[in-house]
């Protein structure tokens, strides 16, 4: 027998909560995609801070400490983005709101693609810079990390400049990304931000 009235609503709400699915659907982000999105957003903010502080500090034990944290979190982010992209490959992604104009759908796709490229390119350029500078690296003071290329001063300098430029580009695109999310929520009043925050009911 089907539950009716208030009772039916409670059963529905319990089912909805127990269905906080890991996988994405065509209408909402699953819990893994959401958690990876927010974890990486927080770690990226920390990365900017550590990178800037490390850059400002002169040669000192503090600089070494700060940069070891920076490099370790950077390598963690590289692994996380690889997991995130693999997960995305085997999952549907939620459809844009039906009323979205085509140009906005394409702008969002291009923006997300750029963010993924930068999330790969930043740690890779950092790793290249570190190897080219011939600096040994232990991730979290624990895991000896291999060099990706042989020591080379010219490459070290180029990778350093690339790293800094890519970081500025990432910051600019993230600001646009945040503005777009807020526009969806407050001006367009759709579900785009909500579905990245929690698993809501269809």
Binding site for ligand HEM (CB under 6 A): 37, 41, 44, 47-48, 51-52, 54-55, 67, 70-71, 74-75, 77, 88, 93-94, 108, 112, 115-116, 119, 122-123, 126-127, 129-130, 137, 160, 163-164, 167, 174, 177-178, 181, 192-193, 195-196
The residue among 17 and 37 lying less far from ligand HEM, judged by its C-beta, is 37
The secondary element (H helix, E strand) that includes residue 145 is strand 143-145
The residue among 32 and 108 lying less far from ligand HEM, judged by its C-beta, is 108
Residues 6+ apart with CB under 8 A from 95: 26, 27
Do 139 and 145 contact (CB within 8 A), yes or no? yes
Closest distance to ligand HEM from the beta carbon of 12 (Å): 24
The residue among 17 and 176 lying less far from ligand HEM, judged by its C-beta, is 176
Give the E-state strand segments of the chain in sequence order. Answer: 137-139, 143-145
Residue 8 is classified by DSSP as H
Q: Which two tokens stand for residue 148?
A: 């990706």
Closest distance to ligand HEM from the beta carbon of 103 (Å): 15
* Separation of alpha carbons 84 and 36, rounded Å: 7
Q: Which two tokens stand for residue 196?
A: 């990245």
Closest distance to ligand HEM from the beta carbon of 15 (Å): 23
Do 43 and 76 contact (CB within 8 A), yes or no? yes
The residue among 8 and 38 lying less far from ligand HEM, judged by its C-beta, is 38
The residue among 15 and 22 lying less far from ligand HEM, judged by its C-beta, is 22
The burial class, CB within 10 Å (0-12 / 13-18 / 19+), for 197 is middle
The residue among 149 and 181 lying less far from ligand HEM, judged by its C-beta, is 181
Closest distance to ligand HEM from the beta carbon of 160 (Å): 5
Closest distance to ligand HEM from the beta carbon of 94 (Å): 5
* Separation of alpha carbons 22 and 173, rounded Å: 28
Residues 6+ apart with CB under 8 A from 133: 151, 156
Closest distance to ligand HEM from the beta carbon of 96 (Å): 6
């Amino acid at each position: 027998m089907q539950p009716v009235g208030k009772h039916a609503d409670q059963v529905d709400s319990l089912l909805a909560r127990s269905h906080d699915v890991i996988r994405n659907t065509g209408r909402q982000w699953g819990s893994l995609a959401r958690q990876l999105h927010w974890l990486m957003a927080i770690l990226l903010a920390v990365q900017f801070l550590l990178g800037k502080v490390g850059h400002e500090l002169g040669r000192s034990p503090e600089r070494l400490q700060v940069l070891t944290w920076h490099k370790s979190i950077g390598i963690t982010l590289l692994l996380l983005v690889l997991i995130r992209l693999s997960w995305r490959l085997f999952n549907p992604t939620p459809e844009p709101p039906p009323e979205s104009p085509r140009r906005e759908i394409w702008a969002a796709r291009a923006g997300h693609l750029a963010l993924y490229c930068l999330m790969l390119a930043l740690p890779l350029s950092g790793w290249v810079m570190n190897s080219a500078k011939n600096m040994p690296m232990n991730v979290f003071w624990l895991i000896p990390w291999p060099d990706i290329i042989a020591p080379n001063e010219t490459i070290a300098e180029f990778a350093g400049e690339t790293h800094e430029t890519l970081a500025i580009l990432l910051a600019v695109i993230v600001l646009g990304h945040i503005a777009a999310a807020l526009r969806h929520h407050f001006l367009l009043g759709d579900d785009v931000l909500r579905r990245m925050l929690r698993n809501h009911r269809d």
